[in-house]
Amino acid sequence: MTRWLLYHILRWCRSNRRHRRFMLYLAFLVGIGSALAGMLLKAIIEEIEVFITQGYKITHANWLNLVYPVIGILLTGLFVRFVVRDDIGHGITKILYAIARRRGFIRRHNCWTSIVASAITIGFGGSVGAEAPIVLTGSALGSNLGRLFRLTDKQMMVLVGCGAAGAVAGIFKAPIAGLVFVLEVLMIDLSMGSLLPLLVSCVTSAAVVFIFTDTQTIFRFQLEEAFSMSRVPAYILLGVSCGLLALYFARTMNWLEGIFQRLANPTRRFLLGGSVLSVLIFLFPVLYGEGYALIELLLNGNSMADWQHALDGSLFYGRGESLILFLLLVILTKVFATTATNGGGGCGGIFAPSLFLGCIAGFVFALVWNHYNVFGIYIPVRNFAMLGMCGMMSGVMHAPLTGIFLIAELTGGYQLFMPLMIVAVGAYITIKSFEPHSVYAMHLARRGQLVTHNTDKAILTLMSMDSVIQHYDEVLRPDDTLGTVARQVAGTTNDVFPVVSPDGRLLGEVYLNDIRHLVFRPELFNEFRVSQLMTQAPTRLNINDSMDTVARVFDRTRVWILPVVDNEGNFKGTIRKSTLLSVYRQMLADSSEE
């Protein structure tokens, strides 16, 4: 009976999958799933962290900080290697790649493996965030739900976006930020066909979290002083500072990841990552886990006596005069701790590290500004700690709107909307001047696999080489006669015939237009060899070229057909400009459907 009922439900769903209302139902389910996954992950992390740190002392450094983080990334690495057997790192990048190259397909195991891996990593002290793994989990839920009901490519991408939006909305209690994040970072097209499901997912996810927890913001924040025009120079300078810090974070992380990637042996990566992480957390205990406790302290402290608790459990304990030096060292080393966590075998994202760094940066900025009485203007320290979070998020993610709405919803700091906008724009313009793509997108952008809001580039990115390449069952050899060419001409509609060596290398091509006056004269069939008839194409395409590169080559050469080879020069097929335009037109029409 149950199987019969499920069969008919699934059949009904597949028959109604084209209806807009059906997408809203799926978005509702994805929102619930994303919220529950986020709450589960947070609960597991909290239980692990409380259990292993309950005996810690605040008056001195705890030597167990040299052990627990290493255990965490070791257990995570073993789980990924022997259970998952797939790469589950770089959650947001995986989603961007799924949208650009896999038509929204994300593997089933991502619905749960990121939760397990990141819970172990962060609970044991890994200096990363839980948000990116949950975003990947939410997107995986949307992707696999879409596959179950055999949705179209466009519907799949929207449902993947719904999962990401619901995850951000739920884990941060920030429905507006969830919506803006998907539109700005994942670059889902803003249309009514995508906007309504995203809204449903965000509202549903946030509502579920409110029901099971409360409606309070993630971080408590008390406005110190209202917005004042006299502080605009400080807001601008803070934005520039956050942009430069985001640039340092992105470039350093990229460099460090390159070091770990060059270590082919997983054991060596673990030893390097584990040793760096454990030493840094031993020296700076605030690097343990997500770091939200320090954010709470800086946002709600009322004096230096309160803020000096940031030194608890470290070698700096009791030395209040070293607070700024301590925090500056934390700013410099956080990127090393984060990269060592992931590079050594752990699993986590950079949402929390960005918030963490931004809060410290804004706090230190305000203390230094007030100490030197710059322009004779006092700036409220707590306000600037909150604004720094916005600036860092905007810079790292290249997403000023996400930074503005996320921090406003995280802290309830809506009274500072104008300063949030100034800092976010300042940080974004600053980092954009040096780095055109965010941390999430830079690797895909370099490979031409990033979908953008530029419609032309987005369509070309979504196209694949397989959709336009023409393969050949027969090819010519240099020693073949004109008679062999004539037989191929008679048996096919092709008008271009590749000439390939015995080992598969492309030597040239024979064009029907060039030999038309010869191919219909049987008396000449043994008089000419293919080597005499072939010519060279103006250029060759590589099988790994992006469609954007292919289109630009056609525009530059102004030819109608080009051969495709691999890195060794072996012939793979040809691409016709007419085929490229036809597929482009069809994908443009499909993406424009509501």
Residue type, 557: T
- Decide: 31 and 162 in contact? Cβ < 8 Å: yes
Task: Give the per-residue pLDDT at 319.
Answer: 85
Task: Give the per-residue pLDDT at 589.
Answer: 66
Query: Mean pLDDT across the stretch 463-468?
Result: 78
400, two tokens = 């000023």
For residue 130, give Cα distances in angstroms to 93, 114, 465, 506, 557: 15, 9, 36, 50, 49
The proportion of the chain whose per-residue pLDDT surpasses 90, expressed as a percent, equals 40
Please state which CATH class domain 457-592 belongs to: alpha beta
Least confident of 69-73, 444-448, 563-567: 444-448
3-class SS shares of the chain: helix, strand, coil, % to 5:
65, 5, 25
Tell me the DSSP string of 122-182.
Answer: HHTT-SSBSHHHHHHHHHHHHHHHHHHTT--HHHHHHHHHHHHHHHHHHHHT-HHHHHHHH
Task: Give the per-residue pLDDT at 100.
Answer: 62
Mean of all residue pLDDT scores within the chain: 85
Q: Is the pLDDT of residue 369 over 80?
A: yes
Burial (CB < 10 A; 0-12, 13-18, 19+), residue 51, is exposed
Answer with the residue of higher pLDDT: 565 or 55. Answer: 565
For the stretch 285-294, pLDDT in tens is 999 989 999 9
CA distance 466 to 470: 8
Answer with the residue of higher pLDDT: 5 or 137. Answer: 137
Q: Is the pLDDT of residue 28 over 90?
A: yes
The dihedral sign for the CA sequence 542, 546, 552, 558: positive
∠ Cα 492 498 501 (to 5°): 130
Answer with the residue of higher pLDDT: 335 or 6. Answer: 335
* Residue 594 pLDDT class (50, 70, 90 cuts): very low
Task: Give the per-residue pLDDT at 410.
Answer: 87
Q: Is the pLDDT of residue 414 over 90?
A: no
For the stretch 249-269, pLDDT in tens is 999 999 998 899 898 888 999
CATH 1.10.3080.10 in the chain, residues? 14-212, 229-439
> Which CATH number among 3.40.470.10, 1.10.3080.10, 1.10.287.110, 3.40.50.1110 corresponds to the domain 229-439?
1.10.3080.10
Residue type, 245: L
* CA torsion angle 543 544 548 552 (round to 10): -50
Please state which CATH class domain 14-212 belongs to: mainly alpha
* CA torsion angle 317 319 323 327 (round to 10): -40
For the stretch 52-106, pLDDT in tens is 888 788 777 788 889 999 999 999 999 998 888 887 776 677 777 766 665 668 8
CA distance 494 to 500: 16
Answer with the residue of higher pLDDT: 444 or 231. Answer: 231
For the stretch 514-554, pLDDT in tens is 888 877 778 777 878 878 888 888 888 888 887 778 888 88
Query: Count of residues for the chain?
Result: 594
Cβ atoms < 10 Å from Cβ of 148? 12
Task: Give the per-residue pLDDT at 15.
Answer: 58
Q: Model pTM greater than 0.85?
A: no
